[in-house]
Chains A and B, each alone.
Chain A
Amino acid sequence: MNLEDFRRVLRQAILIPFLALVALACLLFWQVTDTQRAQSWLDHSDQVSAQIAELERQMIDQQMLLRGYELTLDRSALRTFNSSSARIESEFATLRQFVSDNPEQVANLVRVHDAYLLWLGFAQSLIASPNPAVDKNLAYQGTDFMKAVRTATKSMSDAEDRLRKVRLEKAIRLEHQEIICIIAGALLVGTALGIFSRMRLRQVSRAYQASLDDLQRRSQELYESREWLHTTLRSIGDAVIACEASGRIEFMNEQAEELTGWPMGEARGKPLEDVFQIIHEMTREKAENPVDKVRRLNTVIGLANHTALISRSGTEYVIDDSAAPIRDKNGKMIGIVLVFRDVTDQRRTEAALVANEKLAVAGRIAASIAHEIHNPLDSVSNLHYLLARENDSAKRKEYLEMAQQELKRTMQISRTMLNLYREPNAPVEVDLKELLESVLLLLQRRLDNQSILVRRDFNDEFIVEGFPAELRQVFANLIANAVDAAGAGGKILIRMYTVPAEELRGAGATVEILDSGPGIPEQALQKVFQPFFTTKGDQGTGLGLWVSMGIVQKHGGILRLENSTDPEFSGAHVRVYLPARTLATAASRSTAHVG
């Protein structure tokens, strides 16, 4: 039952009893009026009877006056006779008025009047006669006339009496009827109202009970969903902090309590920056409050790299974090949720892996360098032996020149090796052409051994900013992969071209390396950039491409690997884009973000 229904019921509860009572009142009014009318008819009959009696008395009085005159012949007795006649006429008129509604009584009255007029005529002739007492006949005649008057009067009076009787019965009957009507009407209306009220009340009470049940069920559901949410937030491994739109903390899970060092009870209601103190790991500068940042950008944000959280006890954790706005139905921001986790160990592990790969690369390079150096050193040692035994100056000169040549080669190799490990603190200008050539020089022996043909499709030098040793590591890795893939007698294409600035990236250079090997299986393509994924069995560490990806990303570049569509170099196709200007710093993280 909604509010509208309830109002309707309320209206009914007032209106229907009111209408019922009005109807009852009308019924009673009608009954009472009926009874009253009957009563008034009764009164009317009484009035008529009284008037008849009065008329009769006056007519008798007049007859008495006449009889008195007859007996005494005293004219003085007739003094009031004429005035009495006039009074009687007026009584007649009154009575005529009374019975004008009843033709029967009117007829009766006319008969009485006629009889009276007859008598009055006799009386006047009697009065006019000079000696009335002598004529006995006259006296008898007068009595007869008077009898007729009395008879007519009596019949009229009787008629009125009968009428009264009928009217009395009717009045009594109506009175009974009125009582019955009142009782029955009251009972009926009372019962109907009772039943109606009961029905409506039951309806309302049922609706009330239903809404009570609903309310209880909803509060139970609310409680359960709240518990469920809390349990979920407590159970997940990441730390979660929820804030109001103003930035005050509303909720923290256990992980968040542990990392910040603040129990939720204390932290609740505090501004986020009091509890969640973040700084840049390297610069130690205060990082932007994520609440402000979310409000500013009004979208999901990830925290900058190298964000460190300072806990209440001063412990520092490197964290990975994201913050998102909580919106209501209308899209208005009503809060912010922060999710973060301690990646200190992960960061250490990644750093260890990078160092490990660097060592592995160094080991492989050292072996190849040892080989390269041993050859000329062996020659020099042989020349030294020859020089010691040679007296011919021309021959000696020739030997010395040879020794000089071999030493120069040794120097070149050792310089290359030094360059590999001498890393500047800030990005320097690197000539990509020279870098590629030096990598190819290091790999020259392997290329020769396997008779791999390298086609160089780059002529101009191209300068990018970067860390040469790291970039050399990337290209050594990629070209070595191409050598492994191409196999004996295979071919490798290395080309480089400049890339103009686009919307999302600055101008730079792209180096492409294609090989004639078998290509990469589709399912392996997805994983090649993940750490420890290798297709080379025990020969590979599975870190090469992962580290290369990290280095290229650190330089702001892009590394892509796919299968080639070039019919001549149908194997893998690697693309490395490097921007001419890099944002990398010596401290930048060089581990790959593998999606």
Chain B
Amino acid sequence: MTNPYTVLCVDDEVLGLQIRKALLETSGYKVLTAADGKSALMLFEDHMVHAVLLDYLMPGMDGGRVAVAMRAMKPQVPILLHSACVDLPPEVVKIVDATLPKGEGPEMLISRLQLLIEASHSPGRDDDQ
């Protein structure tokens, strides 16, 4: 099972990040990982990314600020905010394309990600990266 999409995973939980990478790779994605906001933005700039899977609570730079920076660079790339946080600030929720709480299960994660990527490649969106 392969697909041509690259996903950037950002999370400060290194173990969880590795597992998520393995999970997404099993589903055929090409996966880039970053453990903090700064390296995530560097990867995001340097590589062609089809979607970003972003944690919210991270030391130094939280998911909200990372999302704002990414939107400024490449606004067409969909961002899925994936957090265990129960009280996400509304302005952050508005910036990202979708949110998914942690613990909903891997199937849900994969299907939501797939949906987001497909939506961004549907007619009406002029990018093709």
Contacts and interface: CB of A to CB of B under 8 A. Distances in A.
B45 to A, nearest CB: 23
Nearest to A370: B86
B19 A375 contact: no
A406 B15 contact: yes
Contact of B103 (A377, A385, A399, A402): A377
A385 to B, nearest CB: 4
A367 interface: yes
A402 B101 contact: no
Interface stretch (B20-28, B72-80, B90-98, B112-120): B20-28
Contact of B84 (A371, A390, A451): A371
Nearest to B25: A386
B34 to A, nearest CB: 16
Contact of A378 (B26, B59, B84, B86): B84
Nearest to B24: A382
Nearest to A372: B84
B58 interface: yes
Nearest to B110: A385
Given A385-B106, A386-B26, A449-B57, A374 B16 contact: no
A367 B59 contact: no
A395 to B, nearest CB: 8
Chain A interface size band reads: 20 to 34
B106 A382 contact: yes
Contacts of B87: 367
B86 A379 contact: no
B20 A382 contact: yes
Interface of A, secondary structure class, is helix
A144 interface: no
A224 to B, nearest CB: 67
Contact of A405 (B15, B20, B22, B105): B15
Contact of A389 (B16, B26, B58, B60): B26
Interface in B51-67: 57-60, 62
A373 B13 CA distance: 12
Nearest to A445: B57
B10 to A, nearest CB: 14
Interface in A357-374: 367, 370-374
B25 to A, nearest CB: 10
B43 interface: no
B26 A374 contact: no
A409 to B, nearest CB: 9
Chain B interface size band reads: 20 to 34
Contacts of A556: none
B102 interface: yes
B103 A374 contact: yes
Interface in A376-407: 376-379, 381-386, 389-390, 399, 402, 405-406
Most chain B CB within 10 A, of A374, A378, A389, A405, is at A378
B13 to A, nearest CB: 5
Nearest to B11: A375
A399 B86 CA distance: 28
Contacts of B20: 379, 382
A214 interface: no
B13 A386 contact: no
Contacts of B69: none
Contact of B19 (A374, A383, A389): A383
A238 to B, nearest CB: 47
Interface string A431-445: 000000000000001
Contacts of B107: 385
Contacts of A450: 59
B57 A378 contact: no
B99 to A, nearest CB: 14
A37 to B, nearest CB: 140
B19 A379 contact: yes
Given A377-B103, A402-B15, A386 B86 contact: no
B26 A448 contact: no
A402 B21 CA distance: 13
A379 B16 contact: yes
B48 interface: no
A379 B15 contact: yes
Contacts of A370: 84, 86
Interface in A277-310: none
Contacts of B85: 371
Most chain A CB within 10 A, of B15, B20, B62, is at B15
Contacts of B86: 367, 370-371
A483 B57 CA distance: 16
A65 B102 CA distance: 194
A142 B13 CA distance: 195
Contacts of A377: 102-103
Contacts of B23: 382, 385-386
B51 to A, nearest CB: 17
Contacts of B60: 451
Nearest to B21: A382
A375 B84 contact: yes
Interface in B1-41: 12-13, 15-16, 18-20, 22-23, 26
A381 B107 CA distance: 10
Contacts of B106: 381-382, 384-386
Interface of B: 12-13, 15-16, 18-20, 22-23, 26, 57-60, 62, 84-87, 101-103, 105-107, 109
24 contacts: A371-B57, A374-B101, A374-B102, A374-B103, A375-B13, A375-B16, A377-B102, A378-B16, A379-B15, A379-B19, A381-B103, A382-B16, A382-B19, A382-B22, A384-B106, A385-B26, A385-B107, A386-B23, A399-B19, A402-B19, A445-B57, A449-B59, A449-B62, A451-B60
Q: Which 6 A-B pairs have the closest CB atoms?
A: A374-B84, A385-B106, A378-B102, A448-B59, A379-B16, A371-B84
